[in-house]
Structure 1
Amino acid sequence: MYPSITPPRRVKIGDAAAFAGTTPRAIRHYHEIGLLPEPERGGDGRRRYGYDDMIRLLWIRRMAAVGIGLDDMRAAFDEAWDIEEILSRLEETLAAREAEIERQRAAVQRLQALDSPLGLLSELVTDRLAHLPPGALRASDLDTLLVTERVFGPLGAAIQAGVFIVLATHPDLRAEDDRLDAAEAALDDGVDVHDPRVEELAVQRCAQQMALEQAGEAAGLDADEEKLFEIYDADLEGREDTRMSPIEAITKMPYDFSPARMRCMELTARLLADAHSADH
């Protein structure tokens, strides 16, 4: 003989949440936004949920499970929704989510293949650096690529990767780069912006940059960069570029550079611009 079971006429919020497969916090949020009407309260002042409340909560959970937004749910209950428009919008959202999942899966595969943080950068960057032997890139190189990709996007980082290819394959240029980095780091707040070392270093850094460019051209890296533009343009087509502008990004990235070092960088940029103008 089966035991007699008498279902409760009303239940507390914890039991309602457990039955619907959600949380009391989510149910309270539905109340706050007007999606689920407030039920009557018991003598203890707590909410009590009846059959109709549970039916509505179950429909909310089913709509949420397929990705229907809260505003569309509200319209559905008010019988004011355009089902075709909602489903079309939902299809676009799901397609974008699917594309994002594919990008994430590709990043995981790059991480597995490279066994390096390099795999977290864009495919454009990792493909360009794939032929370098393990350990050819320094941790500081990866940091620079990470910042460059944030400021200038995958294309800018892929072009910057060309510099690291040259440095990894030309020990003499790497040694000179290290020397210049150390000299620039020595331009601390105690160095006057008009100290002769500032201009001397700018001249030397400009010469180093020109040497890196020449080595890159000799290795055919400039031709690779033309292909990078084509790949990047094809990948960007049909997708909104949501990156902030380079100027905006630069103003938000903190650098602890002294005034002397900033002047050295400005002088270097000016010398490089003049050198490139003279070449053309």
Structure 2
Amino acid sequence: MHSSFMPPRQVKIGDAAAFAGTTPRAIRHYHEIGLLPEPERGGDDRRRYGYEDMIRLLWIRKMADAGIALDDIRDAFATGTASDDADSGDGVAGILERLEQTLAEQEAELRRQRTAVQRMRAEGSRMGLLSDFVTDRLKSLPEGSLRQADLDSLLVMERIFGPLGAAVHATRFIVLATHPALREDSDRIDDAEEALDDSVAVDDPRVAQVAAERHAFESALHAVIEESGLEKDDDALFDGWDTLHPDDGDDGDDGDDAEDEADLSSGRREADSMSAFEATGKMPYDFSPARLRCMELAEELSAQDSPAT
């Protein structure tokens, strides 16, 4: 028995969209960008779509679902190969190659993001924001011995000097976390420096007094670092970093500590970071003139203690 059903020779935009799995609005957009030629209109001035139009719509939908940009699909159709021989068309092949590379990059970025989220869950939200190279330096500390301000400082240091610079700076917080007396002195001097607000003149005697206290504290802190062997651990950090990143521009000269410190501000920062000088100038600190003068005096005292070069 023969069916009485007769397929339509042409369909309206709504039926075309439904069959292709898209929307009338999307089809109109295809017309606007030259991806799909405008079809003939019927007596009611509405677009009518035939078999070839539907074939092109299906191609567009399939290629778009694969992640190919509409502009690239249009270029592929312009070569005359997309609908005739999709497998052998040079235009489509080039588009697919670029798409595969893009997808690989997206997959790598998703893996990086997932790893970062997992680290934040495992290490804690703030600790997990730091790189493995820094957190490995801190894992020996008792849980809760680091303060939020310590981690904030390391986050800033890593942005300016990279993971290696932040790992070296972490030595300071290792000592403070394991020496309560030094932590107490550190808190006291921090409070004294914060008290040097805009109401204090730069030549106020308190400025020089706090600078002397800061200098004495930093000397005591460095002495503990030397006695505990942490300074040798710092040296090992450079070697460990060079092992992990052999192509960071190391000239092979071990040099002295000054050269190592200078290297912290070169290629060992984050890939998208600026120079240490630029970054330092863009990181705001609400320091009063008196506090800045206190910092200068403390540095001068430290320079006086250093051997002449």
TM-score clears 0.5: yes
- Taking the TM superposition and a 5 Å limit, the aligned residue runs for 1:1-280 are 9-11=11-13, 15=17, 19-20=21-22, 28=29, 34=33, 36=35, 39=38, 50-51=53-54, 53-64=56-67, 75-79=75-79, 81=91, 83=93, 87=97, 93=102, 96-236=105-245, 241-275=271-305, 277-278=306-307
Alpha-carbon offset, residue 255 of structure 1: 1.9
Encode CA deviations 1:113-162: one digit per residue, 9 max, x unaligned. Answer: 33452122110111111111111011111111122212221112111211
Encode CA deviations 1:184-229: one digit per residue, 9 max, x unaligned. Answer: 1111111112222222222221222222222122222222222322
Distance 1:175 1:250 in 2: 28
Alpha-carbon offset, residue 38 of structure 1: 7.0
Bigger fraction of residues in helix: 1
Normalised by the length of structure 1, the TM-score is: 0.75
- Given that 2:150 and 2:173 are in contact with CA atoms closer than 8 Å, whether structure 1 keeps it comes out as yes
Alpha-carbon offset, residue 4 of structure 1: 6.1
CA pair 109-59 structure 1, distance change in 2 beyond 3 A: closer
Encode CA deviations 1:66-124: one digit per residue, 9 max, x unaligned. Answer: xx66775565444475956973x666655554544444344334334334521221101
Distance 1:12 1:238 in 2: 59
* SS in structure 1 at match of 2:145: coil
Over the matched positions of the two proteins, sequence identity in percent amounts to 48
* SS in structure 1 at match of 2:232: helix
* SS in structure 2 at match of 1:133: coil
Distance 2:286 2:16 in 1: 52
Higher mean C-alpha deviation, range 192-201 or range 135-144? 192-201
Alpha-carbon offset, residue 3 of structure 1: 11
> How large is the Cα RMSD of the aligned pairs?
4.2
Alpha-carbon offset, residue 12 of structure 1: 5.2
- Unaligned stretches of 5+ residues in structure 2: 80-89, 249-269
- Unaligned stretches of 5+ residues in structure 1: none
Normalised by the length of structure 2, the TM-score is: 0.69
Encode CA deviations 1:46-83: one digit per residue, 9 max, x unaligned. Answer: 9988425523522541441xxx6677556544447595
* SS in structure 1 at match of 2:220: helix
- Given that 2:133 and 2:164 are in contact with CA atoms closer than 8 Å, whether structure 1 keeps it comes out as yes
Which structure is larger by alpha-carbon Rg, 1 or 2?
2
Higher mean C-alpha deviation, range 3-12 or range 198-207? 3-12
Distance 1:41 1:192 in 2: 83
Distance 1:99 1:9 in 2: 44
Distance 1:207 1:196 in 2: 17
Higher mean C-alpha deviation, range 177-186 or range 41-50? 41-50
